Structure 1
Amino acid sequence: MKSFRSPGRHGYAVDVSPFLPSTVACASSQYYGIAGCGTLLVLEQSEENISVVRSFDWNDGLFDVTWSENNEHVLVTGGGDGSLQIWDTANPQGLLQVLKGHTQEVYAVDWSQTRGENLVVSGSWDHTAKVWDPEQCQVVVSLQGHEGVIYSTVWSPHMPACFASASGDGTLRVWDVKAGGCRLAIPAHKAEILSCDWCKYDQNVLVTGAVDCSLRVWDLRNVRHPLAEMISHSYAIRRVKFFPFYQTVLASCSYDFTVRFWDYSKNQPLLETLEHHSEFVCGLDFNLHVPNQVVDCSWDETVKIYTPSCLTSL
C-alpha cells in the first residue's frame, strides 16, 4: 500500500486520470470543509510512493473532482462557494474558468463518458442539478425535483444525455437531459443518500449508499424492491463505486473509517473490509488502467493506493 499525506488538507474525493494510469486528482479542504480554503492535488504514483505534481488552491472548500474525458490536462472541481472550477494542469496558473450558477455548495461533479458528448453535471446543496457545456462555459439545463441536498451526480456510461442523482430526500433519480426532466424517481432509502453509481456492464443497474449504513442495488426495469441490499458498515456510507472489471463487484467507503468490497450476487456479499484510515473515508475510485488497483482519500489527510486481495482472486 502506498500512502501520501497532505498536512492540513482533508480529502473529499479522488479521481484517477482516464488517460494517465499513474495520475490521480484529489479534492481537499481545510478544517474538514467547514471553513478555510480548498486545494486540488494532482498526484503521481511510482512503484514506491506518491508525490505531488501540481497543487492549486481555491478560496473555499473543494468537495468533488472529475477529469475531462477529452483533454488529459483538464479537470473540474466543485466548491463550497457554489461554483465549479475548470483547471489546466499544463498551465502554471492552473485556473481556466469559474462556472457560477449554484447558490449553495457544489458537492458533486462528473464528466460525461458517452461518445460524442462533452458535458459536465453538478449537484448542489441548493437542491438543483445543472448540466454544463465546459467549452462554452454555460449551463445547458438546470434540473429541479429533489427536495433535499444533492450529494451525488453520475453520468450513465451507456445512455447519452442520461445521469443519476442521489439526495438527502432519500430518492435516487434518473434524468434525461434532452427532455429536460426526471425520467424516474426511486424512494431508495428512508435516509439521506450520499452516493450512487452505475454498473459498467448493465445500463439498468445502479447502486446507492446511504446514511442508514446500507447499500442497495437497483434494476431500473423493476424498482419496487432492490436487487440486493448489503449491510455491514456501522456509520453512513459516503461513496460507492462499481468495479470496472467484474459486473457484480463494487466498493464502498464510510464514516466508520473503512473501505469494503462486495459481490452482490453472493449470499454472503461482503468480500473484504479494510481499515487503514483514522478518520472518515470520503473519496474512492478504481484505476481503469491498472486492474484491481484502488485509490481512496480520507479526512485523516492521506491518499492511499492499494490492491485488495479479494479483487486479485476473482
Structure 2
Amino acid sequence: MDNNLTGAAEIQIRLVTKQSQYAVPDVPYTIDATVSTSDLNNLINTLLFGQSDVKTINFDFLIFNQFLQGSLVDHAKNNNGSFENVIEIEYIEKYPAPEPQDCLLHDDWVSAVKTQGNWILTGCYDNTINIWSTKGTHVLTIPGHSMPVKALSWVSLNERNAHFISVSQDQTAVLWKWNIAENSVCSLCIYKGHQRGIDCVDVNPNANIFATGSWDTVLKLWPAVSQEMDGDLVMNDTSKNCATKAPLMSLQGHKECISAVQWIDSETILSGSWDQTLKIWNLNLEGIQSEITANKSFFDVSYSPLNKLIITASADKDLRLYDSRSNHGPVIRNSYLGHSQWIQSVTWSKTNEYLFLSGGYDNQNKLWDLRSTKASLYELLGHSDKVLDVDWSNPKYFVSGGADNSVRIFKSQKTLMKNY
C-alpha cells in the first residue's frame, strides 16, 4: 500500500467533465483526503453557482475509472491508488431515479416482456400473449400455445401492422401478424423441430431469420420474412391455413438448456446455457467461433454493440462482465454485487454503453453502471415475487415481468446524454 495514503491530510485534485455545461475552471484544488461524494457535490455546485439558491445538481464521481463510494482515501486504498500526484476526478450528472408508472396484472406468472415503440408484448404461464401500450392500456389477449410462453421477439412494426414471434414450452415457435387498426391477430407460421421446450428467441438485424434455444440443447435458425413490398413486410406464408416451417440450420454444441440467445451481427450469434458456457457461433462456419467457460449456469446474457461487452446473469448473486474480444488471459472484466438471490434476467441499455438492468429472485430490478461494481445506481421496487424477465428496448421505459403475475413499468426521467 502506498504510504502517501495513510498520512494524507490534504490532497490536490483536478475536476474534469465531458458535460461542458457543468465545466469548472481547469486548475488544481486542495481538499481534505477524507471528503466524500456529498462534499464534492457541494464543491462543484459552489464553483458553478456560488452561494445562490439555484437548485443543487447531483453528480457521480469517477476516480481510477470507478465510481467514488465512501471517502477519497478509502477509495484510493481499495483501488491501489496514490495521492502522490494531482488526482483527476471526472464528474457526471447523476442519473435520476426511474419513476414508477404502471402495474399490469396477469392471470399467471409473466415470463417474457418485450417493448417496441409504444407497445409491450408479454408472455405468460397461462399460455397466452398479451399486447399492452406503454401507457398501461391492455390491447389484446392472444391464445395459441398449449404451454407457457417463455420468450418473445418483435420482427417488424409500422403504423398499420406488426409481426412478432413467440416461443413456448410446447416446443413450438409461432410467427404472428397484428393488424393494429383492426386490433386483430393471426398466426402466419408454426415452427416445429425442437424436441423439448423452447426457452429463448432473437431476430437477426435484417429481420429475416430468427434463432431459438431449447432444453434439447440445440440452437436452431428459422426463416422469418421473404420480401418487402410497399413498405410492409410480406411473410413467407399468408394463407388462412397456418403453415409449418422447418429449421434452416441446427447448431449443436451445448450440453444443457440454452437459456439465452442474441444476434451480435448478421453472421454471429451469442448463446448462454445451463452447461456453464457462453458460445459465439459463426454461421459461415456453421459452428463455434469461441467459447467462455464459467462455474455457474447462465440464466441470461446480453451483448452491447456500443461497448462490445457481455453482461451475464447466473445461478448465484453476482452479475459478471465479459470481454468477448479477449483471446487469452482472464475474460471477466468485473463482477457486480447487490442482488441477494439468483439473477434471472439482464439487458444493456440500447443508447448508453455504461448502463444495464437486471432482475432477480430477490423480487428486485436494479439499474447499474458498469463503473460501479459494488452497488447499483437504483433499486426498482414493486414486485412481490421473483423477477423473471426485464426489458429496456425502448430507452424511455424499464419493463419487467414477474412471478407475482404482474408487469412493472418504470419511466426514465432523463434523455440519456451521449457522454454520460
Pick the TM interval, shorter chain: 0.7 to 0.9
Separation of aligned partners in 2, 1:307 and 1:269: 21
Which residue of structure 1 aligns with residue 250 of structure 2?
142
User: How big is each residue's C-alpha offset from its partner over 1:66-87, in whole Å with a ceiling of 9 and x where there is no partner?
Assistant: 0004765111011111110111
Of the three residues 127, 130, 139, the one matched with 1:41 is 130
User: How big is each residue's C-alpha offset from its partner over 1:141-164, in whole Å with a ceiling of 9 and x where there is no partner?
Assistant: 1011111111111111xx322111
Q: Which runs of 5+ in 2 are unaligned?
A: 1-100, 226-235, 237-244
* Aligned: 1:9 with 2:95: no
Residues 1:199 and 1:312: Cα distance change in structure 2 (over 3 Å):
closer
Which residue of structure 1 aligns with residue 220 of structure 2?
130
Residues 69, 111 of structure 1: 8 Å contact kept = no
Of the three residues 172, 176, 184, the one matched with 1:92 is 184
Separation of aligned partners in 1, 2:286 and 2:173: 21
Residues 10, 301 of structure 1: 8 Å contact kept = yes
Separation of aligned partners in 1, 2:134 and 2:397: 12
Separation of aligned partners in 2, 1:311 and 1:234: 30
Q: By how many angstroms is 1:266 displaced? A: 3.1
Residues 141, 177 of structure 1: 8 Å contact kept = no
User: How big is each residue's C-alpha offset from its partner over 1:9-28, in whole Å with a ceiling of 9 and x where there is no partner?
Assistant: 210011111xxx22100011
Q: Which runs of 5+ in 1 are unaligned?
A: 31-37
Separation of aligned partners in 2, 1:269 and 1:182: 35
Q: By how many angstroms is 1:138 displaced? A: 3.4
Residues 1:127 and 1:3: Cα distance change in structure 2 (over 3 Å):
same
Separation of aligned partners in 1, 2:400 and 2:319: 18
Q: Give the SS at the match of 1:108.
A: strand
Separation of aligned partners in 1, 2:221 and 2:393: 26
Residues 79, 107 of structure 1: 8 Å contact kept = yes
Residues 156, 162 of structure 2: 8 Å contact kept = no
Matches within 5 A, 1:164-313: 164-187=270-293, 189-202=294-307, 204-222=308-326, 224-266=330-372, 268-288=374-394, 291-307=395-411
Which residue of structure 2 aligns with residue 118 of structure 1?
208
Q: TM-score, normalised by structure 2?
A: 0.66
Residues 1:293 and 1:70: Cα distance change in structure 2 (over 3 Å):
closer
Residues 128, 145 of structure 1: 8 Å contact kept = yes
Separation of aligned partners in 1, 2:138 and 2:204: 26
Residues 41, 54 of structure 1: 8 Å contact kept = yes
Of the three residues 188, 194, 197, the one matched with 1:105 is 197
Which residue of structure 1 aligns with residue 124 of structure 2?
28
Residues 300, 312 of structure 2: 8 Å contact kept = yes
User: How big is each residue's C-alpha offset from its partner over 1:252-293, in whole Å with a ceiling of 9 and x where there is no partner?
Assistant: 0011100011111235452111221011111211143xx442
* Aligned: 1:67 with 2:67: no
Residues 1:62 and 1:101: Cα distance change in structure 2 (over 3 Å):
same
Identity of aligned residues (%): 22
Q: By how many angstroms is 1:308 displaced? A: 5.4
Residues 1:62 and 1:89: Cα distance change in structure 2 (over 3 Å):
same
Q: TM-score, normalised by structure 1?
A: 0.87
Separation of aligned partners in 1, 2:365 and 2:121: 19
Residues 294, 305 of structure 1: 8 Å contact kept = yes
Q: By how many angstroms is 1:53 displaced? A: 1.3
Q: Give the SS at the match of 1:89.
A: strand
Q: Which runs of 4+ in 1 moved over 4 A?
A: 308-314
Separation of aligned partners in 2, 1:117 and 1:294: 24
Separation of aligned partners in 2, 1:4 and 1:70: 22
- The residue type equivalent to 1:222 in the other structure is S
Q: Give the SS at the match of 1:265.
A: coil
Separation of aligned partners in 2, 1:300 and 1:94: 29
Residues 271, 310 of structure 1: 8 Å contact kept = no
Separation of aligned partners in 1, 2:401 and 2:248: 32
